Amino acid sequence: MKLLITGAGGQLGKEWIDFCKDHSVSYNSFSSNELDITDEDKVAKVIADVAPDVLINCAAYTKVDEAEDNKQTALKINAESVKKLTNICNRNNVKLVHYSTDYVFAGNKSDKENSPEGYKEEDSTDPVNAYGHSKLKGEEAIKDSGCKFLLLRVSWLCGQYGHNFVKTMLRLGAERNELNVVNDQFGSPTFADQVVEQTFELLQQNKIGTYHLSSGGMTTWFDFSKEIFKQKGINVKVNPVSSADFPTKAKRPFFSKLSTQKISNVDGILILDWKAGLQRLLKQL
Ligand SMILES: NC(=O)c1ccc[n+]([C@@H]2O[C@H](COP(=O)([O-])OP(=O)(O)OC[C@H]3O[C@@H](n4cnc5c(N)ncnc54)[C@H](OP(=O)(O)O)[C@@H]3O)[C@@H](O)[C@H]2O)c1
């Protein structure tokens, strides 16, 4: 199986490169300045030259707050370009792997005590911010395209590369004695190394369609930060605050736990609880 990875300089893209090297998987990778996915002609040429079996699209506009002021750019990268990728994949008989987000959901699914399993793949979407809207448009383009695809939603993505909550907390924990962290948004982290392993397993089993990839269990950003400091033995006082006390340009869903029921039924895939996933990540940092 030959892979072509776009957005290879990002958090997930770099994790994919590590995986391919470690597992002797044949791949070609392109960072944003080597291949801009908005450039349809260039993407078409690269796909024709490389002739991959699978296009792993890790390229995305991921700046959630900035997307509120840059809606057109977010749509161009997260939706219009994705539509173009589906056309190119169709023409070249290439399977498309694309990543989406828990932010396609409104976050008001029932109440969290009665719905601890979270959002299922088929639940209705209704994003509360521009980033989520652009990612949903990308999902719709894929589903309407008729191409062979794996559409994988992840939430609160954290890995050894790029910017993420775990790395931010470790930096702030080294700089400050006290932190305020939001305690009214519920979800579950997805760890980048597991995303790659599980995606590869799905590919090997010829699976197609939509899956949620996330950890078992549920937490808040506040409890997540406390667990990071506990596991790392960092002594910092963490104060729980509400989203209202911590205003951001883009609204966030209050509940965006992704159900792992469907993915956990796939042979060979083991879902780790988020605390175990964190332990694995902290060993890499
Ligand atoms: N991070 C999260 O918490 C999270 C949560 C849910 C879902 N996701 C989804 O998971 C996927 C991977 O996210 P990530 O955390 O790895 O994001 P990331 O670290 O921001 O990486 C995205 C990469 O895409 C590149 N890119 C942007 N515009 C491009 C373009 N026009 N052509 C080619 N490349 C372009 C970026 O390059 P530059 O840096 O040069 O712009 C960056 O290297 C995305 O689909 C994202 O929507 C992420």
User: What is the per-residue pLDDT across 90-136, written as a single tens digit (0 to 9) for each?
Assistant: 999 999 999 999 999 999 876 555 566 899 999 999 999 999 999 99
Ligand 1 atom closest to 60 (CA): 24
Known catalytic residue: 27? no
- Between CA 9 and CA 161 the distance in angstroms is 9
State if residue 62 touches ligand 1 by the CB under 6 angstroms criterion.
Answer: yes
Q: Write the CB contacts of 73 (distance below 8 Å, at least 6 apart in sequence).
A: 61, 67
Q: Write the CB contacts of 266 (distance below 8 Å, at least 6 apart in sequence).
A: 201, 202, 205, 207, 211
Residue 33 is assigned to a structural domain of this protein: yes
Residue 224 is assigned to a structural domain of this protein: no
pLDDT (tens digit per residue) in 44-76: 999 999 999 999 999 999 999 999 999 999 999
Q: What is the CATH number of the domain that holds 142?
A: 3.40.50.720
Residue 243 is assigned to a structural domain of this protein: no
The torsion region of residue 190 among left (phi > 0), alpha (psi -120 to 50) and beta comes to: beta
Which pLDDT score is estimated for 114?
Answer: 55
- Residue 38: closest CA among 10, 90, 92, 77: 77
State if residue 58 touches ligand 1 by the CB under 6 angstroms criterion.
Answer: yes
Distance 63 CA to ligand 1 centre (A): 8
Which pLDDT score is estimated for 113?
Answer: 55
Q: Write the CB contacts of 261 (distance below 8 Å, at least 6 apart in sequence).
A: 117, 120
Residue 281 is assigned to a structural domain of this protein: no
Which pLDDT score is estimated for 148?
Answer: 97
Q: Is 19 in contact with 196 (CB distance < 8 Å)?
A: yes
Please give the tally of structural domains in the chain.
1
Residue 43 is assigned to a structural domain of this protein: yes
- Between CA 31 and CA 53 the distance in angstroms is 19
- Between CA 102 and CA 212 the distance in angstroms is 9
Whether the per-residue pLDDT at 168 is higher than 80: the answer is yes
> Domain range spanning residue 64?
2-164+189-217+256-273
Which pLDDT score is estimated for 189?
Answer: 98
Distance 86 CA to ligand 1 centre (A): 18
Distance 254 CA to ligand 1 centre (A): 23
Residue 177 is assigned to a structural domain of this protein: no
Whether the per-residue pLDDT at 262 is higher than 80: the answer is yes
pLDDT (tens digit per residue) in 169-198: 999 999 999 999 999 999 999 999 999 999
φ, ψ of residue 51 in degrees (nearest 5): 50, 60
State if residue 157 touches ligand 1 by the CB under 6 angstroms criterion.
Answer: yes
Residue 248 is assigned to a structural domain of this protein: no
- Between CA 131 and CA 113 the distance in angstroms is 27
Residue 279 is assigned to a structural domain of this protein: no
